Amino acid sequence: MAETTSRTATRSIDTTNRSGSLGSDEQPASTQKITIAKALNLGLRTAMERDPKVLLLGEDIGKLGGVFRITDGLQKDFGEQRVMDTPLAESGIIGTAVGLAIRGYRPVCEIQFDGFIFPGFDQIVSQLAKLQFRTQGRVKMPVVIRVPFGGGIGAVEHHSESPESYFAHTAGLKVVACGNPVDAYWMIQQAIASDDPVLFFEPKRRYQDKAELDTSVQPIPLHSSRVLQEGSDVTVVCYGPMVRTCTDAARVAAEEGHRVELIDLRSLSPLDLNPVFESVRRTGRLVVVSEAPGQSSITSEIAAQVQQHCFYSLQAPVLRVTGFDTPYPPTKLEEEFLPDLERVLDAVERSLRW
């Protein structure tokens, strides 16, 4: 395809600062510019300091600090009992986290890469998701499963998948995805504080994205979506790694005279769709963006709900920009597979032309 990376690079403006701002006008001197990776590390550290029952479990998370270094330095400071290098078994990691939670701990599991969550799938959907229901609330499952997800890093097979819809499909689980450092910092703490099991998806390709973090500004609730940019022509909804892609696309659309209203879902289950409905009622147009395959997915769910709730407001069909309904391709083709700025703009234009 046309050299999308260079086009993106020339056209895009670093927008992470903006999405990182929580809407506060004050800029206290205590703010710091940090990456998503560092924000997660700091969020985990804060949660561990606050509650001695918080434990981290995962492969290589100790000395190595995890393959992405998200847990860097935590074992050194909290010891091997609270930052556990586990045997190499995802079902083991999640299944024992369930047991630890029954015993009153708050385990935070790290799954090394998205494609490796499946050996743990059974424990997630059969036990983690259902124990609270089965015990009529007597047993809580305050377990967080952190999953670096999505493509775009030039990795081999099973390292670039977007499995979030499998979990959003399962009742009893909560599923969230952060898209910037500020959310990373707060959402991980909120997820750990939650008494429900939370699948916490981290946009691995954006780990090094930076933004200003002001810890004195209080976060919004975990399960709420957020309007990142107001606009009256077309609504664009996205989450995780696509937040930045769509922020860039909205910027370029603005240069071309189209005012995009951009919404970051943040929570994939439960979905907070009221802001989306309100937005679509004003714009009459919706483009939903995700790099996961579109079939039977979060994007399908949003399309269905919007047509149900905003039928009379729609001036164009809901359009989706997603990964294809194929296995994730070899990396030389991932640029074709992944929705990019051009594909988002193309959908915005198609929606406007309808």
Partner 1 sequence: MSSPEYWTKPWPSSSAEKPPPPGSNQAAVAARPTAEQVIAGLRATSEGGPDLVQLLTPEGERVTHPHFDLDITPEELRSLYRDMVLVRRTDRECNALQRQGQLGIWVPLLGQEAAQIGAGRAMRPQDMAFPSYREHGVAWCRGIDPTDLLGIFRGTDHGTWDSQEKRFHPYTIVIGNQVLNAAGYAMGQRLDGKVGDGHQDDAEATIVFFGDGATSQGDVNEGFVWGAVYDAPVVFFCQNNQWAISEPMERQSRIPLYQRASGFGFPGIRVDGNDVLATLAVTRWALEECRSGNGPVLIEAFTYRMDAHTTSDDPTRYRLSDELEAWKLKDPIERVRVHLVRSQFADADFFAQVDAESDALAERLREFCINMPTPPADRIFSHVYSENSPVLDQQRDEFLDYLSKFEHAGGAL
Ligand X SMILES: Cc1ncc(C[n+]2csc(CCOP(=O)(O)OP(=O)(O)O)c2C)c(N)n1
Sorted by sequence, the CB contacts under 8 Å of residue 333 that are 6+ apart come out as none
- From the CB of 143, what's the least distance to ligand X, in Å? 18
In which element (H, E) is residue 109 found? strand 106-110
Q: Whose CB is nearest to ligand X?
A: 116
CB of 185 to ligand X, least distance (A): 26
The count of chain residues that interact with ligand X, using the rule CB under 6 A, is 6
DSSP element (H, E) containing 148: strand 144-149
86 binds ligand X (CB under 6 A): no
Q: Which of 19, 112, 123, 299 binds ligand X (CB under 6 A)?
A: 112
Angle (deg, nearest 10), helices 4-11 and 341-353: 80
Q: Considering only CA atoms, which of 47, 16, 15 is closest in space to residue 34?
A: 16
119 contributes a contact to ligand X by CB under 6 A: yes
Q: Is 156 in the site for ligand X (CB under 6 A)?
A: no
Check residue 267 for interaction with ligand X (CB under 6 A).
no
* Partner from partner 1, ligand X, none contacting 304, C-beta within 5 to 8 A by type: none
Binding to ligand X (CB under 6 A) within 51-70 occurs at: 59
Closest to partner 1 by CB, 93 vs 187, is 93
Active-site residue set: 159
Instruction: With H, G, I as helix, E, B as strand and everything else as coil, classify residue 101.
Output: helix
Residues at the site binding partner 1, with contacts judged by CB under 8 A: 1-3, 59-60, 62-65, 67, 79-81, 85-89, 91-92, 115-116, 118-119, 154-159, 324-327, 329-334, 336-337, 342-343, 346
- The nearest distance, CB 157 to partner 1, in angstroms, is 5
Angle between helices 341-353 and 242-255 (to 10 degrees): 50
Contact pick of 12, 64, 82, 116 for ligand X (by CB under 6 A): 116
Q: How far is CA 38 from CA 189, 234, 263, 266, in A?
A: 14, 34, 24, 19
| Alpha-carbon distances, residue 200 vs 4, 177, 269 (angstroms) | 29, 6, 11
DSSP letter at 87 equals P
Closest CA to 147 of 194, 114, 192: 114
Residue listed under structure tokens 């640029």: 335
Q: Which residue, 154, 143, 147, is CA-closest to 177?
A: 147
Residue 214 contacts which entry, partner 1, ligand X, none (Cβ below 5-8 A, type-dependent): none
Binding piece for ligand X, criterion CB under 6 A, among 36-44, 98-106, 112-120, 221-229: 112-120
Among 88, 139, 156, 333, binds ligand X (CB under 6 A): 88
3-class secondary-structure state, position 235: strand
Instruction: From the list ligand X, partner 1, none, pick the one residue 64 interacts with, judged by a Cβ distance below 5 to 8 Å according to partner type.
Output: partner 1
Question: Closest CB to ligand X among 90 and 161?
Answer: 90
Which residue ranges make up the site for ligand X (CB under 6 A)?
59, 88, 90, 112, 116, 119
